[in-house]
Amino acid sequence: MDMDFEVNMNEYLPLRDVVFNTLRKAILRGELKPGERLMEIQLANKLGVSRTPIREAIRKLELEGLVLMIPRKGAEVAQITEKNMQDVLEVRKALEELSVQLACERITAEQVEEMKMAAEDFRKVLKSGDVTKIAEADVKFHDIIFAATNNQRLITLLNNLREQMYRFRVEYLKQKECYPQLLEEHDKLIALISGGEVEEACELMGCHIDNQASTVSDVIRRDQVEYHR
pLDDT value, residue 104: 98
CATH of domain 15-77: 1.10.10.10
Walk along the chain (229 residues) and give the pLDDT tens digit of each residue. 555 666 665 556 788 889 998 998 888 777 898 889 999 999 999 999 999 999 999 998 988 778 999 988 899 998 888 888 899 899 999 999 999 999 999 999 999 999 999 999 999 999 998 888 999 999 999 999 999 999 999 999 998 888 778 888 888 999 999 999 999 999 999 999 999 999 999 999 999 999 999 999 988 888 665 555 5
Rounded Cα–Cα distance for residues 113 and 137 (Å): 15
Rounded Cα–Cα distance for residues 223 and 220 (Å): 5
Rounded Cα–Cα distance for residues 72 and 75 (Å): 10
DSSP 214: H
Give the DSSP per-residue string, 148-196.
HTT-HHHHHHHHHHHHHHHHHHHHHHT-GGGHHHHHHHHHHHHHHHHTT
Task: For residue range 106-117, list pLDDT tens digits in order.
Answer: 999 999 999 999
pLDDT value, residue 92: 94
Q: Where are the domains of the chain?
A: 15-77, 82-228
Rounded Cα–Cα distance for residues 102 and 193 (Å): 9
pLDDT value, residue 6: 61
CATH 1.20.120.530 fits 82-228, yes or no: yes
Measured in whole angstroms, how far is the alpha carbon of residue 174 from the centre of its chain?
12
Rounded Cα–Cα distance for residues 177 and 64 (Å): 31
